Chains A and B, each alone.
Chain A
Amino acid sequence: MSTTTETGGPGSGTPETEQPASATGRPAEPTGRTAGSLGAMISAELTKLLRRPATWVLLGLWPALQLVFSTVIPYVSYQRGASFEGLPPEAVLASMLPDQLVLNSLSGLPLFGGALLLTLGALLAGSEYGWGTLKTLLGQGPRRLQVLAAQLLALLVVLAVTVLVSFGLTALASGAIAAGESAAADWPTAGRLLRGLGGGLLIAATWGALGLLLGHALRSTALPIALGLVWVLAAENLIVNVAAPLLGAFDTAQAALPGVNAGSLVAALAGNGATLRTPGVAAIVDGAQAAGVLAGFLVLFTALTALLLTRRDVV
């Protein structure tokens, strides 16, 4: 360590050094809590997210898989003149055209997309405990709720961009298919597009918030991810496809599941007449109810995370 460099002190430019100093050169009055602005904290969280390789893998994987399963594979099937998932080639082509942009951009979100975004949320929160960085962050002065707000808002920013990317990629692909096949390019109206973007962000945020909750609750990464994946990919499917048809209680309860409501919201956003062929997308409840339930889950997950973060010791 350098022994010649000034370590700071009076006049070094920090807010506290600008206060009247005592004989020791330090502030004479007790200094309270100050921290950066929420904007600065969100910027810090975005740096953490965007510089982390896992973020790019997880956020890149969903739009890529979405494109492959909603457009590329059906198009290859159409090109071969084969039926796809029981649909004749003409119906397969129609399902890839621009008027199906909302469905084809979001159809993976209730299931595999949700699993990936939940994983991102769990990584974002759980790593702070594994690396011991939460205590380092809190040591810099922010309140715990400020840290959570910054984490959640930064996550929302990258999720919004990812939803946009998914729409953009699908739009490019469907536009190219429409042009290449000389088919009608009936793009969704701006209102429908905005509802699609908003609905997609709501679903993504709900899964991300569940990941954050599990990461903070379990203070690790592996267990929250494992539990989250089992819930999204297996448990809800078993409830909907196995338990609900047999037992009335599960049939009623499925309407309150986040995955079911995500799938219902996507189905509602897809519009009447859309071919719902992606697993996890089904109109079990109506769109308004689905949006309400998902918004409720988003608030609930965030509130529980805030409760855990503020009530527990950081060890």
Chain B
Amino acid sequence: MPPAQAVGARPLVEPRPSDEVVVIAGLTKRYGSRTVVDDLSLTVRRGEVYGFLGPNGAGKTTTLRALLGLVRPTSGTASVLGRPAGAASSGVGALIEGPGFYPYLSGRENLRVLARYAGAPAGRVDTVLETVDLTDRARDRYSTYSLGMKQRLGVASALLKDPELVVLDEPTNGLDPAGISDMRALLRRLSADGHTVLLSSHLLGEVEQVCDRVAVISSGRLVVESSVGELLGLHRLVIDAEPLGEAAAITTRLLGPERVSVVGGAVHAQAGPEDAARINRALVLADVEVSGLRQEAQTLEAVFLQMTGSELAAAGPDPDGPPAQRTGRLSRRGAAR
């Protein structure tokens, strides 16, 4: 396995400007003295499914609202499809912070109202209803819909214009497992059809399965922007050895302090299998008794919790060590500020 690349690093070949569907640069949004989004920069490329992750209150929805022109940034810029945020609406379909529809209208009537505003052909209404599997209930009042059905109608509204960029904020809220599975299939199909999808979700398993790249934000700041593969490629190497201090020192000398921590009587290192043999050899040569050396593959959820947890824990005691050690290279962008 090749060495893990620095997360957040740009590819060797920069994408052409036209391949950048969303470009956010230094976006900041303050409400009074409260900073909701803090100098956020990220890029979504054409055709990718981009996961936008963060704890509740991290600033995800505010960022998405800024992209749609619903809120004005305090500073910084956001462009969508090469135009200032909010000015490229023809190419953007969005479901932001839950569905909002007229309760006394049926699902179909709601979409017809929106289609007239969008300038979408009337035929699109039935197409998107079919897409989200709501045709059978299309004539029922929206107020009679379950949460999952409301959510699906919200996704349908986002697809009305057959937009190039689909922005979905927690689209799986209220969906049952079958609905979540269908949503996953829909996201894949959207991507296959050439749509770019910007997905905010708490279901990290889903994000891990469908997203090409992710950004993690916490407290309004970008913690990391990376491909999912790069994120998950940062395996954790757990070393049981005596004396522990010497083992930690040797491992730190090999990998650098930002990738090593001592947790619960073991050395934890952000290192792939290719590093394991090198570390083992160095430890043995130094007469350190190695009783265990194992690789722990990480899930996106674990990585997410590490990164956002360390951000939150930065002000207090952290049993897993300093944030810089735990996030290692992952926090490059966020730590640079």
Contact = CB atoms under 8 A, between A and B. Distances in A.
Interface of A: 1-3, 5-10, 12-17, 21-22, 24-37, 40-41, 43-44, 47-48, 51-53, 131-142, 147, 313-315
A152 B182 CA distance: 40
A134 B182 CA distance: 28
Q: Which 3 A-B pairs have the closest CB atoms?
A: A132-B100, A30-B82, A25-B194
Interface stretch (B153-161, B263-271, B288-296): B153-161
Contacts of B94: 139
A66 B185 CA distance: 58
B81 A141 contact: no
Nearest to A6: B127
A3 B182 contact: yes
Interface string B45-74: 011000000000000000001001111100
Contacts of B118: 35-36, 140-141
B130 A5 contact: yes
Contacts of B190: 7
A314 to B, nearest CB: 4
A25 to B, nearest CB: 3
Contacts of B299: none
Contacts of B158: 139
B337 interface: no
Contacts of B127: 5-8, 12
B124 interface: yes
A41 B101 contact: no
B312 to A, nearest CB: 24
Interface residues of B, number: 71
Interface of B: 18, 46-47, 65, 68-72, 81-83, 87-94, 96-105, 109, 112-121, 123-124, 127-128, 130-133, 152, 154-155, 157-164, 179, 182-183, 185-186, 189-190, 193-196
Contacts of B179: 1
B137 to A, nearest CB: 13
Contacts of B90: 15-16, 31-35, 141
16 contacts: A1-B186, A2-B131, A7-B189, A8-B193, A10-B194, A12-B162, A15-B90, A16-B164, A24-B46, A26-B46, A27-B164, A30-B91, A33-B90, A51-B102, A133-B100, A136-B99
Contact of A7 (B18, B65, B102, B193): B193
A251 B102 CA distance: 45
Contacts of A5: 127, 130-131
B162 A313 contact: no
Contact of A1 (B46, B68, B81, B183): B183
B98 A132 contact: yes
B173 to A, nearest CB: 13
Nearest to A35: B119
Contact of B70 (A3, A138, A147): A138
Given A43-B116, A135-B96, A17 B87 contact: no
Given A27-B164, A30-B81, A47 B119 contact: no
Given A30-B82, A131-B100, A136-B99, A2 B117 contact: no
Contacts of B195: 7, 9, 26
Contacts of B116: 36, 40-41, 43-44, 47
